[in-house]
Amino acid sequence: MTTSSPAPVMGIRDEVAALKRERIITAAVELFYERGYENTTLDAVAERLGVTKPFIYAHFSAKTELLAEICTRGVASAVRAMEAALAMEGASPAEKLAALGRRFVTAVLQSQKLIAIFTREEKNLLPGDFQRVSRMRRDFDHKLSGLLEEGVAQGEFRIADPRLAALAIGGMVGWAYVWYRPAGRLSVEELADEMAALVLAMAQAQPARRTAAKVSRAPASRAPRTAATRGARR
């Protein structure tokens, strides 16, 4: 566009505002993660950014609004992983669960600090924000147990209590924020693959469409695909 319409100007203004918001959130994440929410003042956030407190107030009305944004982003990353897996057209429950496992692990590792802050500081959210974020989390659990139930109904999974298994999967993956170190032994991709294999093993997944050729002494349909093809026991 070479016209002098106000649209591009507004676009830049919006972009600048978004960029400033992102910088504020990033600084708040670092400080809430290192020192805790209660121990962090907006003055400290401003200082870390080299700006004044009114700069922050131009974008966030209060510290609690920053916390709400951070917690929402943490949970939203898991919700997006779920939605992408459930949207896989023509995929079986086992294929969706494998994809969810990989995406969910990746989301947690990439959002490690957001998830840590959410887990630790949830009780400092305002009641309305707390309820909204809790609803997002319950929705995640509900969709996951729905996927597990679907797999049980189709004979792909063997799970006695899908609702409990959904909470167990949420825990084994979500907890990764505690032990994950970016410079650790395994890459994000390796962790995503291995953890997804553990999720499928927990569901006793029996893939409907693929065969696990490498496993001997058992019907292929009973051998969890991932553990076999990824070389379990090595």
Contact residues toward a second copy (CB under 8 A) are 34-36, 38-39, 119-121, 123-124, 141, 152, 158-161, 163-165, 167-176, 178-179, 185-186, 191, 194-195, 197-198, 201-204, 217-219, 222, 224, 227, 230-234
Q: Which two tokens stand for residue 188?
A: 């994000």
Nearer to a second copy, 12 or 35 (CB): 35
Rounded to a whole number of angstroms, the minimum distance from the CB of residue 5 to a second copy is: 51
Per-residue DSSP letter, 61: S
Nearer to a second copy, 15 or 34 (CB): 34
Nearer to a second copy, 92 or 124 (CB): 124
**Identity of residue 121:** E
Rounded to a whole number of angstroms, the minimum distance from the CB of residue 195 to a second copy is: 6
Nearer to a second copy, 70 or 202 (CB): 202
**C-alpha distances out from residue 223 to 35, 161, 213, Å:** 47, 21, 9
Rounded to a whole number of angstroms, the minimum distance from the CB of residue 88 to a second copy is: 24
The span from the CA of 189 to the CA of 52, in Å, is 40
The span from the CA of 99 to the CA of 88, in Å, is 9
Q: Which two tokens stand for residue 3?
A: 């016209």
Nearer to a second copy, 51 or 232 (CB): 232
Rounded to a whole number of angstroms, the minimum distance from the CB of residue 225 to a second copy is: 12
The span from the CA of 218 to the CA of 225, in Å, is 12
**Identity of residue 41:** T
As a three-state string, the secondary structure of 65-113 is HHHHHHHHHHHHHHHHHHHHHHCCCCCCHHHHHHHHHHHHHHHHHHCHH
Rounded to a whole number of angstroms, the minimum distance from the CB of residue 82 to a second copy is: 17
